[in-house]
Amino acid sequence: MKQTGSFVVLTRNNKSEVFLVKRSDFPVWEPQGGGIENGESPETTAVREAYEETGFKIKILRKIAEYTNSKTSKISSHIFEGNYVSGIFKPEYKSCEGKWFKITNLPSRMTATRKMMIKDCLLSKSELIRKFEIPAVSVQNLNLLFLLPLKSFKYIYSLIFKNRFFQFVFITMICTFNLKIINIF
């Protein structure tokens, strides 16, 4: 199934700062974004998601890129650059944090894809859409498993048990592991 989302890299002060939100389910910092609803354009989604997640009114400046992973989950993301217009931070979920970060001092708890979004925003000067193949699992994200072992386990566990295929694979792996242990003794 193809899923499509939109993200906005929200900047201010001539792109010297970017606004990031710390997720409540898995504590990593990321730009605002989410799924495109039926009948909604990617740009409208980016504006809506920014408002829902921050309470900020923003202005989309341009489309930066489209990231596509056609080999695995076929998730396509539309990436926009946006400017802060007005508003006070009001998180969508009370446990979320929001903060302006200097571009030169981004938090370590970010996924490789989200860092790439910010880098592309800073480096891209043209209006052209750039396409990338994003790896489903990046070696660059392994540091998050070590920084947040319990949260990582809970997050992966919740993903497994929301999907019947992953439930089957997980239970099969556990049963196979248990049979090997029994055979050893």
Report domain extents, the chain: 4-141, 148-184
Q: What does the pLDDT read at residue 143?
A: 59
> Locate tokens 């939109």: which residue?
6
pTM above 0.75, yes or no: no
What tokens appear for 84 in the block? 């802060």
Q: What does the pLDDT read at residue 128?
A: 58
Q: What does the pLDDT read at residue 85?
A: 94
Cβ atoms 6, 45 nearer than 8 A? yes
Give whole-number Cα distances, 89 to 53, 83, 92, in Å.
9, 15, 10
Could you say which of 2.60.120.1030, 3.90.79.10, 3.20.20.120, 3.10.20.30 is the CATH number of the domain covering 4-141? Answer: 3.90.79.10
What tokens appear for 95 in the block? 């446990």
- What is the distance between the alpha carbons of residues 143 and 137, in angstroms, rounded to a whole number? 12
- What is the distance between the alpha carbons of residues 91 and 21, in angstroms, rounded to a whole number? 8
What tokens appear for 45 in the block? 């989604």
Residue among 23, 25, 30, 22 at smallest CA distance from 154: 25
| Secondary structure letter of residue 103 according to DSSP | G
Tens of pLDDT, residue by residue, the chain (185 residues): 355 888 899 888 888 899 999 988 778 899 999 999 999 999 999 999 999 999 999 999 998 888 877 666 566 788 899 999 999 999 888 888 999 999 889 998 888 778 888 888 887 676 656 666 555 455 555 556 666 665 656 666 666 666 666 666 666 666 665 555 555 54
